[in-house]
Amino acid sequence: MALTAKQQLFLALALAFPFFQVAICGDPDITSDFLVPAGTNATQLDGQFFTYTGMRPLITSDPPTTFTATKATMAEFPALNGQSVSYAVLQYPAGSVNPPHTHPRAAELLFLTYGTLEVGFVDTTNKLFTQRLQAGDMFVFPKGLVHYQFNYNEKDFAIAISAFGSAAAGTVSVPSAVFTTGIDDEILAKSFKTDDATIQKLKAGLAPNA
Ligand SMILES: *[C@@H]1O[C@H](CO)[C@@H](O)[C@H](O)[C@H]1NC(C)=O
């Protein structure tokens, strides 16, 4: 029996539905005020559970000598689970870079609190958007797009605070993902239209002990 046009459309929608669900790439909405970790007695929760003190050392310690991202995601701060928010404090020594990377599950709203930064992201048409920020400026990196920050001041450090629209935004570093995960030299040489020696040099420079 042949299906009518309406039946065909319905069947197509029914088959596609699971894929639409997969394509919604963000934190799920929860149906309670907050999520209590497994094994925790909910009646014993208090304000402590909703407090994160892991950033306190940043206030008192000297600035780091390499680019450092200190995160407060649901991994460090379990009360964020289900709340679709997280933070990272980003410290940039003079002249340092946060290499190109993406956050697959969230946009990033960066607030530069000290110093200067050159920021940039590339959209899905390969258009580059860049800006030089001064302290007090904000910049938004759209969800999932490749982006970077560079402290172009060779004499002074910079500090930024980034908010994410996910409790677990995830980070994919472009250099690490491509050159430190064991992808075959020949595949990379063909992909980057270069030779094996160049790929090996890039891999060596990114090796953990380099
Ligand atoms: C949870 O804590 C409350 C208050 O301390 C206590 O009365 C209750 O028995 C506890 N429940 C469980 C399952 O341990």
CA of 46 to the centre of ligand 1 (A): 14
Is the same domain home to 205 and 108? no
26 is written with which tokens?
């963000």
Residues 148, 80 share a domain: yes
133, 81: one domain: yes
As a whole number, mean pLDDT of residues 87-115 equals 98
User: Same domain, yes or no, for 158 and 195?
Assistant: no
Provide the domain limits for residue 108: 53-172
Tokens read off for 205: 């420079």
Query: Based on the domain organization, do 186 and 167 belong to the same domain?
Result: no
Q: Using a 6 Å cutoff on CB, does residue 43 contact ligand 1?
A: yes
Measured distance CA(105)–CA(97) in Å, rounded: 22
Residue located nearest, by CA, to atom 11 of ligand 1? 41
Q: What DSSP element (H or E) covers 138?
A: strand 138-141
Q: Looking at the domain assignment, is residue 22 inside a domain?
A: no
Tell whether 208 and 117 lie within a shared domain: no
Whether the CB-CB separation of 186 and 196 falls below 8 Å is answered with yes
Average confidence score pLDDT of the chain:
92
- Ligand 1, atom 14: nearest CA belongs to which residue? 41
- Using the predicted structure, report yes or no on whether residue 100 has a pLDDT greater than 70: yes
Number of domains in the chain: 2
Residues 127 and 203 in one domain: no
Report the residue among 36, 43, 46, 49 best suited for mutation to probe ligand 1: largest number of ligand atoms under 8 A from its CB. 43
> Does one domain contain both 69 and 126?
yes
Among protein residues, the one whose CA lies closest to atom 10 of ligand 1: 41
Same structural domain, 112 and 158: yes
pLDDT value of residue 48: 96
pLDDT for the residue numbered 26: 84
- Domain with 122 in it: what CATH number? 2.60.120.10
69 found inside a domain: yes
Over residues 79-94, the pLDDT tens digits come to 999 999 999 999 999 9
Q: In what order do the strands lie in the sheet with 146-150?
A: 128-134, 116-122, 146-150, 97-102, 172-173
Please determine, for residue 209, whether its predicted confidence score (pLDDT) is greater than 60: yes
Q: Is the pLDDT confidence value at 112 over 80? A: yes
Beta carbons of 69 and 103 less than 8 angstroms apart: no
Report the atom number in ligand 1 closest to the C-alpha of 42: 1
**82: in domain:** yes
Residue 97 has pLDDT above 80, yes or no: yes
66: tokens are 């390499």
User: How many Å apart are CA 106 and CA 174, to the nearest integer?
Assistant: 17
Domain-embedded: residue 7: no
Ligand 1 centroid to Cα of residue 85, in Å, is 30
Confidence of residue 208 (pLDDT cuts 50, 70, 90): confident
Same domain? For 100 and 193 the reply is no
Using alpha carbons, select from 173, 200, 165 the residue that is nearest to residue 184. 200
Higher pLDDT, 13 or 125: 125
Atom of ligand 1 nearest to the CA of 41: 1
Indicate if ligand 1 lies below 6 Å from the C-beta of 31: no
**Distance from residue 43's CA to the centre of ligand 1 (Å):** 7
3 state SS of 151: coil
